Amino acid sequence: MQGARAASAARAPGGASAPATPVGEPLLQLRAINKSFGSVRALSDITMEVPAGQVTALVGDNGAGKSTLIKAIAGIAPPDHGEIYWKGKPVRIHTPRDASALGIATVFQDLALCDNLDIVQNLYLGRERLRARTLDENTMELGAKQALADLSVVTVRSIRQLVASLSGGQRQAVAVAKAVMGNAELVIMDEPTAALGVTQTAQVLALIKRLAERGIAVLVISHNLRDVFEVADRIAVLYLGRLAGEGPIAEFDTQNTVEMITTGAATPRSAANSAAPSTDDAKDH
Amino acid sequence: MSSTLRPGEPTVAPAAAPSSGAASEVIEELTASDALVAETFSEYVGGWWKRVRAGQSGILPVLAGLVLLVIIFQVLNSNFLTAANLTNLMTQGAPYILLGMAEVFVLLLGEIDLSIGYVAGISATVTLELAAYPHPEPWWVAILAGLAAAAFLGLVQGTLITRLGLPSFVVTLGGLLGFEGLMLFLLENNSVASGGTVGITNNILSDVVNGNLDPAVGWIAMIAVVAIAGFFFWRRDFLRRRAGLAAPPAALTYLKIAAMAAAGIVVVWICNTNRGRISTLEGVPWVVPITLVILVGWTFLLGRTRYGRYIYAIGGNAEAARRAGISLGRIRTIAFVLTAMTAGAAGIVYASQLGSISNGMDGGTLVLDAVAAAVIGGTSLFGGRGKMLHALIGGIIIAAIANGMGLLGLSAAAQYMITALVLVAAVTVDALSRRGATSTR
């Protein structure tokens, strides 16, 4: 399992693979984001960046502010203060529509799929293709086939099967395909591997890597550090609403990450740990 | 087309070896969709059988139940399967079928409309009063006015439910009570209604149920319908194959068309048999094609348009539909209007069958029959699952029970109890087969 960490090292750094973003410019930058609920300060001075083509993991204990932060980016609960830069330009994200107009798609934990509809119908929900004012099922089916093939991680027997009959990993893939079909450049995923089995977790992690390979920025919330170290290129640790640490994955290991999550501060990383990733490049696919 | 869709084992990330338990689970859940990728007839049948065993038998148990009912009634009374009685059954079933179809719209949303019995009554009252002497309006004006009245009542209820967020059960329970009052008011305060009854004076309104197509016209219309439907079936498969998508085997399509033709031939043959005792009485009752047109229209709306897709989406997961940018309030309100309008049509058919509409109309029982028809046919009370076709089959079953027990001379007491048993049995079979379906997940 740990071996796949090497995948991150093999990937091209920065946003170079995403044509829309200037080289060296992070896709999304947060500067001094603040959010309070009454007297409770949920987020204080969060400054971090999310580069294109990379997986950024957002970790932290319950109540650390992870969900508040992604809701701020997704336009569900805008921040009180602070600036958001998208491709280097300041933007305002006040509604979910603002976010999707920019190219930010959020896959929530509940996935928002209709169990009683099939995969094609779910992928095109709200943006059905029409021909002569009736549903153009064939065009949609071909498009859905292509969208799933692009992710090429999870297979389904037929894209005309009901979502209710899919496994957790397959459902996650459908939800992600749905998000990406709207030309998303940043996909936010909230606990994508929670409540999944071993096989399905592996499928979802492969899916996340695949997104990054396609030049999409992925911001993923996870409680599972093993998953985080397997897929993430960068880590941001939240502790009681402030950023306890942020940086490339090489600067972190399980031990100091856990310390940051629980205490908000970490002892410097030992030399022995930093040598570990280079040993298992072979396991990269 | 691409390797993604080939039957085979799911791609698993190299980091984790699939445990055999998980793998078999995946294969198990995939069998349910075998029929969807079948290209040959035997594959299709195999896939279908697997689906039946997995609890996704669809409409089959209901049809089997109907056949069983027919056999029982025929054994108990040989008059059941006569042309006269079967034609009677079709006209008797029409109001149940139409009311059931009305209910399907709101049931798909996970809502319910308890008021449609009296909405039907008001629509019939408006229509009959407008068409009555001494100042009769043309039949089509009367019908349009009746449907418009029904649509308005649906709009009022739908608006209350969606804009104010009131539960549909309570709002339409209010409708059940209030609209009966409104119907009584209309019947008591109009000079054309004597003793709380308006009779049908317009020939066309009377002919809706009592008029028959000329036997030759019946045959021609049936052949035309089968030919057109068959063409669309064939064209659909043809376009799918041309687009490189998996299409059901051609043999299956031909089998479906043949079954449709056979059903059409049987229905027209039964109706065209002379069922008169004194004078000749033959031909397909008008109400049969009328019901079919509404059935096809609503099936098309639900299956082939955006609006229909959104009804299913809201019934399946309202939050997902909302996030997809669907206007929940608008779709729901329109559904209540469509429900009320279909109920209005049912009311006109009902009045045509009775020759009048009176203050004795029991809209409360009618609405329960309508819900029963939809549910017996297989539409879920919890939203998201169901078809217009379910109301057709359920309505025929409800009418067959009433008709068969009437022939046997059973008391109303026995009729109610037996109808109840059939309803509960249908829901039980449905729930048990669903349980079978979920246990393989």
Angle subtended at Cα B361 by Cα B419 and Cα B99, rounded to the nearest 5 degrees:
55
Q: What is the pLDDT of residue B38?
A: 59
Q: What percent of chain B is predicted at pLDDT more than 90?
A: 53
Give the percent of chain B with pLDDT over 70.
87
Q: From A230, which residue of chain B is nearest by alpha-carbon distance?
A: B15
What H or E segment, with its residue span, contains residue A186? strand A186-190
Q: What residue has token string 């569900």?
A: A76
Q: In whole angstroms, give the CA distance from residue B309 to residue A135.
A: 9
A-proximal residues of B, 420-439, CB under 8 Å: none
pLDDT(B11) > 70: no
Q: Is A126 helix (H, G, I), strand (E, B) or coil?
A: coil
Distance from CA of B233 to the nearest CA of A (A): 14
Query: What confidence score (pLDDT) does residue B53 get?
Result: 63
Tokens of B294: 């509404």
Pairing of strands A40-50, A234-239: unpaired
Q: Is the separation of the CB atoms in B141 and B80 below 8 Å?
A: no
Please, is B119 exposed, middle or buried when counting C-beta atoms within 10 Å of its C-beta (0-12, 13-18, 19+)? buried
Q: Which residues contact B357 (CB under 8 A, 6 or more apart)?
A: B121, B124, B125, B128, B187, B197, B198, B347, B350, B351
pLDDT at position B57? 60
Using CB atoms, pick whichever of A130, A165, A199 lies closest to residue B12.
Answer: A199
Q: For this complex, say whether ipTM is above 0.95.
A: no
Q: Contact, B362 vs B55, CB < 8 A?
A: no
Residue of chain B whose Cα is closest to the Cα of A199: B18
- With cut-offs at 50, 70 and 90, classify the pLDDT of residue B56: low
- B375 has a pLDDT exceeding 70: yes
Which of B21-25, B221-225, B322-326 has the least mean pLDDT?
B21-25
3-state secondary structure of A237: strand
pLDDT at residue B322 tops 80: yes
Phi, psi of A242 (to 5 degrees): -125, 160
CATH of A2-103+184-280, one of 3.40.190.10, 3.30.1330.60, 3.40.50.300, 3.30.830.10: 3.40.50.300
Q: Where are the domains of chain A?
A: 2-103+184-280
For the stretch B170-196, pLDDT in tens is 999 999 999 999 999 999 988 888 888
pLDDT at A24: 59
Is B129 within 8 Å of chain A by CB? no
Q: Residues A120, A114, B433, CA angle at the centre, nearest 5°?
A: 100
Q: Is the pLDDT score of B9 beyond 50?
A: no
A43 or B17, which is more confident: A43
Residue A58: the pLDDT is 92
Distances (CA, A) of A23 to A8, A20, A51, A53, A216: 19, 9, 10, 12, 14
* Inter-chain residue contact A153 with B13, CB threshold 8 Å: yes
pLDDT on residue B317: 92
Among partner residues A113, A121, A202, which is closest to B309 by beta-carbon distance? A121
What pLDDT was estimated at residue B33?
42
Residue A146: what pLDDT? 86
pLDDT at B64 over 90: no
Distance CA(B7)–CA(B9), nearest Å, equals 7
Residue to substitute from A116, A150, A161, interface B, most B β-carbons within 10 A: A116
Whether the CB of B50 is below 8 Å from some CB of chain A: the reply is no
What pLDDT is attached to residue B15?
37
What residues 357-386 of chain B have any CB closer than 8 A to a CB of chain A?
Answer: 384-385
Per-domain residue ranges of chain B: 82-211+285-436
CATH of domain B82-211+285-436: 1.10.3470
- Tell me the C-alpha distance between A1 and A229, whole Å: 9
* CB-nearest partner of A3 from B1, B15, B18: B15
Mean pLDDT, each 10-residue run in order, chain A (285 residues): 40 41 72 89 89 91 87 88 90 86 87 91 91 90 87 76 86 87 87 84 88 91 88 91 87 86 70 43 42
Contacts of A111 (CB under 8 A, 6+ apart): A171, A172, A174, A175
Section B46-60 average pLDDT: 67
pLDDT at B29: 39
Which of A135, A138, A152 is the closest to B240 by Cβ? A138
Q: What confidence score (pLDDT) does residue B8 get? A: 38
Token pair, residue A233, equals 């290129």
Task: Give the least confident one: A246-260, B105-119, B164-178, B288-302.
Answer: A246-260
pLDDT of residue B52: 65
The mean predicted confidence, pLDDT, of chain B is 85
Q: What does the pLDDT look like over B396-441, one tens digit per residue?
A: 999 998 899 888 888 888 888 888 888 888 778 767 766 655 443 3
What is the rounded end-to-end Cα distance, in angstroms, of chain A?
13
